[in-house]
Amino acid sequence: MKDKPIRVLPQVRTSLLLKIENSLELLLKTSEELLQELELKQEENPQIKLTLKTRPRWFYQEYAEHQPIFSQSEISKVEEQVRYEFDGLDLDIALEIISGLNHKGFFLGDIGEIAKHYGVSPEYVEEIREFIMKEIEPLGVASKNLEEFILVQLEELYPKEEELHREVLRVLKGKSRDLRAREVLSKLKLSPFEGTQVAYKGGSVDVVFEYDGSQWYVFLMEDFWDVEAVGSLKPITFILEMRRRVMRVVGDLILERQAGFMLGKEPLKSLTLSEVAQRAEVSLSTVSRIVSRKYAKTPIGVFPLRSFFLRETKEGYSKEEIMKAIKEILQSEKGRLSDQEISKLLKDKGIHIARRTVNKYRRMLEGRS
C-alpha cells in the first residue's frame, strides 16, 4: 500500500510561509552577526539549541599589511634544527628539501629530482622529508599538502584515534559534518608557517579560501556550528540550512572561476549571481541577500564576496579580462598601435570586439596609469 501524500492545510501553509519570511533577515547577517543572534535566541528560548565549541581562528585573522607572509627567521630556525639533526649527505638532502618550501612551509619540490641529483633512491629522500615533517619545529613543516599537514597534527594530538583522523579528513574535503571531527579541525593550523597575523579589523570573515600550493580548500564559518530548532522556531532550521547550502555554492563557483585572481595571477572573470541561483536552485533575490555584506579571505587578502561577481560583456569576457589582453598587446608590440590593429590582434586571441570598444577600454587603461 502506497503512503498517502501529506496534505498541508492552507492556513498551516500560510502560517509556515509567514514564519519563514520573518526569518529571512537571517540571510542578510554576516556569519559573526548570525552567530551572535543565535546565541541570544538560545538564551531566550529553549526551542533553539546552538552547538558550537570552538570558533576557528582562521576566520578572525589576516596577514599584517606590508609584512612578509613568512619571516626569514622561520626558515632560519628550521635550517638550524636540520643542521643539528643531520650531517654529510643527509644534511645536503635535508637542506635541498628546505629550499623547496613555499611561503606557508609546504614542500613543493620534486623528490625524484633530488634523489637523482644525489644518487640515492626516492624512498631515501622521502624518509628524510618525513623526519623533518614530524620531528622539526614547527610540526608539519615540509608537508606536501594541507591534508598531510592536518594528519601530522592529528597523529601528534590524537594518537591511536585513526577513525577520528579519517573523519577529520572527510570534514576537510567537505564530505562529513561529524560534530567532533569539526570541533577538532577548528583547533588545527592550516599551514606550518603562519607569518605575522593580526586580528581581522572587520571582526571575522565568512569564507576562507585556502591554497596549499597544489590544492584549494573552501571553509565556511557556518560549517563549524549546528542549530536545532523546534516548535515555532523550526523554520529557522530551514533558513539556515538553505543559507549554508547557497554559501557553499557561492564558494565553489568563486573557486571555479576566480582561482587565478585569488593567486594574483589573473584578472577577475565573468561570474553572475544568476549562475549561483541556477546551481543552488533558489531565487536571485535569495542569493543577493546571502552574498550581501559577506567577506572572504584569500591568499592575497580579504575581499567582499560581491567583488568576485562581474557581468560578462557582449563578447563573453569580463571587462578585466579584455583590459588585461589589451594591456598585454600594448606592452608586447613595439610602436603605437591603432585601435583597429589592436582589434585584429585580439581576434587572434579569440576576443572579437569592435574598434570603438577597443578605444573605450584603451582610454580606461590610460586613466589607470
Q: What digits encode the pLDDT tens for the residues 176-230?
A: 999 999 999 999 999 998 765 656 666 789 999 999 989 999 999 999 988 888 7
pLDDT of residue 134: 96
Please tell me the pTM assigned to this model.
0.77
pLDDT digit string (tens) for 338-349? Answer: 778 777 877 777
**Residue 121 covered by a domain:** yes
**Residue 5 covered by a domain:** no
* In the predicted structure, residue 67 carries a pLDDT above the cut 70: no
pLDDT of residue 200: 66
- Structural domains counted in the chain: 3
Same-domain check for residues 77 and 185:
yes
pLDDT digit string (tens) for 132-188? Answer: 999 999 999 999 999 999 999 999 999 999 999 999 999 999 899 999 999 999 999
* Whole-number Å distance between alpha carbons of 36 and 79: 44
pLDDT digit string (tens) for 285-297? Answer: 999 999 999 999 9
Strand order in the sheet with 295-298: 216-220, 207-211, 295-298, 301-304
Same-domain check for residues 47 and 82:
no
**Residue 236 covered by a domain:** yes
**Residue 295 covered by a domain:** yes
Select from 166, 195, 224 the last residue of a domain.
Answer: 195
pLDDT of residue 45: 86
Domain that holds residue 283: 22-61+202-306
Over residues 298-316, mean pLDDT: 81
